[in-house]
């Protein structure tokens, strides 16, 4: 059932915490000095499409709560999707 690391890396990852005004989501990651309103919550595009609006909001909320905690070794805090 597992597709492996290669397909995981090649998946189209999007940031569900910062939806675009016209619909859809920006790609995960930032370019240059780009600023975003919320800390990114990245999921594969297929997963984002399959989630309801309330599920996306809940996942973003969990991520924001996790980010309030202190970090260890500069690693991002994980929040379940």
Can you say whether residue 41 is alpha, beta or left, with left for phi > 0 and alpha for psi between -120 and 50 degrees? beta
Query: Which candidate, 38, 49, 57, 43, places its Cα nearest to that of 14?
Result: 43
Kindly give the confidence (pLDDT) of every residue in the chain, 81 residues in length, as a single tens digit, with 9 standing for 90 and above: 467 888 888 899 999 999 999 999 999 987 777 787 888 899 999 999 999 999 999 999 998 888 888 777 777 777 887
Q: How many CB atoms lie within 10 A of CB 45?
A: 16
How many helices and strands in the chain, by DSSP H and E?
3, 2
What does the pLDDT read at residue 56? 95
What does the pLDDT read at residue 2? 63
The CA-to-CA distance between both ends of the chain, in Å, stands at 20
> How many CA atoms are closer than 13 Å to the CA of 39, on its beta-carbon side?
14
């Amino acid at each position: 059932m597992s597709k492996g690391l290669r397909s995981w890396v090649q998946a189209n990852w999007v940031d569900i915490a910062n939806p675009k005004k016209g619909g859809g989501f920006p790609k995960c990651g930032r370019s240059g000095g780009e600023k975003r309103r919320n800390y990114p919550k990245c999921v594969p595009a297929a997963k984002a499409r399959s989630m309801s609006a309330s599920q996306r909001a809940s996942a973003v909320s969990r991520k924001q709560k996790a980010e309030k905690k202190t970090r260890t070794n500069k690693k991002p805090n994980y929040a379940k999707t």
